[in-house]
Amino acid sequence: MFSMPRVTRIGVFTSGGDSPGMNAAIRAVVRTAINEGMDVFGIYRGYEGMIDGQIEQMERHSVSNIIQRGGTILKSARSKRFMTYEGRLQAYQSLEKFKINGLVAIGGNGTFTGAQQFEKEFNIPVVGLPGTIDNDLYGTDFTIGFDTASNTVVQAADKIRDTATSHDRLFFIEVMGRDAGYLALWSGVAAGAEFILVPETKTYIDNITRLLKHDMRKNKTSGIVIVAEGDDMGGAYDIARQVKERLPEIDARVTVLGHVQRGGSPTVQDRILASWTGFEAVHALIEGKSSVMVGIEDKKITFTSFEDAINKKKNFNFGGLELARILAL
Ligand code: F6P
């Protein structure tokens, strides 16, 4: 006797901060599901739209011409209402109307925290895709959007380097990363930054000024400091001010890159990561998996429980900070 697969009607949504490659992930989920004979529905504005029933059936053509586009055609939001039981119950009732019996959640920590709770309470299987520029999820080497954001930072830093050199200035460039310094580290090494300041390590301003003096003695007249917004000594403006107090002779400038890092056409790496994990997410639901995030580690597909993806600390390459410093001398 054949048993009916549990999941036949999938809902897909993007939630939390958007990231380049989310559209490629939506495309992969929609087309894989249709290819498997399933019905697939787009849920708009993340958990907010799930609560409000902003749900539409998607066809193959609904995801035409989006693989190259940044942002998310399904839109995204952070939902306070979904943090309450009433909100989640309403979301469940919306899904029931469309007979949706499986979900693919594309997002980061907050998205998976909500998904885990929802699955426990309403027994709807959820598989996650890592969509965030922060790359702070355990269980995947990279998250969807991180590579594009790193390239955006490096392109900006290269341009800033031109003017920094012309004017003999020290630039403090603030990049995103409220709690994580992966974007700062990766882009800082690639941009040849003199210093990289991240939340994962304690920042000592005196140490920076001592090394800057050393650089000046070696006739270095300009430089770049990449500051993750969540650094323990503050953002780029705070750090620049503290350095300036100790070294008034330095001509310092600050650039905050902000949300420019969240947009743009996804790189090849992000498109492939999104397409491959999106495909695997649908198959995972068919196989009965739930409350897991699909990732890629060492070029192999991995499934990590939401519990671990959210709570375990991903390996941070502290050596990269030292590497940047040595190579910048
Ligand atoms: O996407 C993650 C992230 O970029 C964090 O690094 C940043 O602090 C946050 O989102 C800001 O997002 P928003 O402006 O959407 O609140």
- Domain for residue 3, yes or no? no
| Residue 41: HSE in the Cβ half-sphere, 13 Å Cα cutoff | 24
> Quick one: tokens of 77?
């939001």
Of 176, 198, 226, 227, best ligand 1 pocket probe by most atoms within 8 Å of the beta carbon: 176
The amino acid at 149: A
- Domain for residue 4, yes or no? no
**What's the rounded mean pLDDT across residues 120-130?**
97
CATH number (domain holding residue 151) = 3.40.50.460
pLDDT for 185 beyond 80: yes
Q: Give me ligand 1 centre to Cα 220, in Å.
A: 34
For residue 5, the model assigns a pLDDT of 58
- Domain for residue 196, yes or no? yes
For residue 219, the model assigns a pLDDT of 87
202 and 110 in a common domain: no
140 and 24 in a common domain: yes
Could you give the number of structural domains in the chain? 2
For residue 133, the model assigns a pLDDT of 98
Summarize pLDDT for 292-310 with one digit per residue, the tens: 999 999 999 999 999 999 9
Cα separation, 169 vs 237, in Å, equals: 15
* Domain extent at residue 222: 146-262
Catalytic residue among 18, 134, 231, 270: 134
pLDDT for 24 beyond 80: yes
Summarize pLDDT for 230-251 with one digit per residue, the tens: 999 999 999 999 999 999 999 9
Residue 228, classified by CB atoms within 10 Å of its CB into exposed (0-12), middle (13-18) or buried (19+), is: buried
| Percentage of the chain exceeding pLDDT 70 | 98
- Domain for residue 69, yes or no? yes
Q: Cβ atoms within 10 A of the Cβ of 225, count?
A: 24
The H or E element containing residue 37 is: none
177 and 30 in a common domain: no
For residue 200, the model assigns a pLDDT of 97
134 in catalytic set: yes
Residue 50, classified by CB atoms within 10 Å of its CB into exposed (0-12), middle (13-18) or buried (19+), is: buried
* CB-CB contact of 296 with 302 (8 Å): yes
Q: Is 178 in the pocket of ligand 1 (CB under 6 A)?
A: yes
For residue 328, the model assigns a pLDDT of 87
123 and 17 in a common domain: yes
Q: Which atom of ligand 1 is nearest to the CA of 178?
A: 8
Q: Give me ligand 1 centre to Cα 115, in Å.
A: 19
**What's the rounded mean pLDDT across residues 70-78?**
97
- In this structure, the residue with its CA closest to atom 16 of ligand 1 is 17
Confidence of residue 217 (pLDDT cuts 50, 70, 90): confident
Of 185, 227, 262, best ligand 1 pocket probe by most atoms within 8 Å of the beta carbon: 262
Beta bridge pairs of residue 57: 41
Sheet containing 252-256: order of strands: 195-197, 223-228, 170-175, 252-256
- Domain for residue 175, yes or no? yes
Cα separation, 196 vs 251, in Å, equals: 19
For residue 325, the model assigns a pLDDT of 87
- Domain for residue 327, yes or no? no
